[in-house]
Amino acid sequence: MGILDYFITPRGLIEYDPDEFDNARKVDGSVLIDVRTHTEYSHGHIEGSVLVPLNSLKERLHSLEKDRIYLLVCATGHRSRAAAAIMLRNDFNKIAHLKGGMAAWRKNGNKISK
């Protein structure tokens, strides 16, 4: 993973605003992955999300089914973009992320779980 992965949207990544992301996470079979740290996650996360910190994502890829829909979230959208780049390079092809991350989610007034 390179520094540009945090800033350049990889080809194939779908970017959702908070309302679109909220609808997408309700689709059967979708998996919501939060790539923030344990501490960030414990201070509030989207209900139903699974914590897979970005620094451990590569090691966890083998346990993920490639044909599922993955929705990625982080604090501002940079780490989820980088996570998407990793997943897309490893033959996952149904990847979306929350543009603006948890900051956008909160600003939109969406529910936070603790």
- How do residues 61-100 score in pLDDT, each as one tens digit? 999 999 999 999 999 999 999 999 999 999 999 999 999 9
Respond yes or no: is residue 74 known to be catalytic: yes
Instruction: Assess if CATH 3.30.365.10 describes domain 3-107.
Output: no
The bridge status of strand 14-16 relative to strand 95-98 is: parallel
**Catalytic residue selected from 13, 71, 74, 86:** 74
pTM: 0.91
Residue among 59, 71, 52, 74 nearest 6 (CA): 74
Lowest mean pLDDT among 2-6, 32-36, 62-66, 83-87: 2-6
> DSSP alpha helices (H): ranges in the chain?
18-24, 38-42, 54-60, 78-89, 101-107
Question: Considering the chain, what is the average pLDDT of its residues?
Answer: 93
First to last CA, the chain: 30
C-alpha to C-alpha distance for 104 and 47, rounded to whole angstroms: 16
Least trusted range by pLDDT, from 5-14, 36-45, 97-106: 5-14
65 token code pair: 């089914």
Percentage of the chain beyond pLDDT 70 is 93
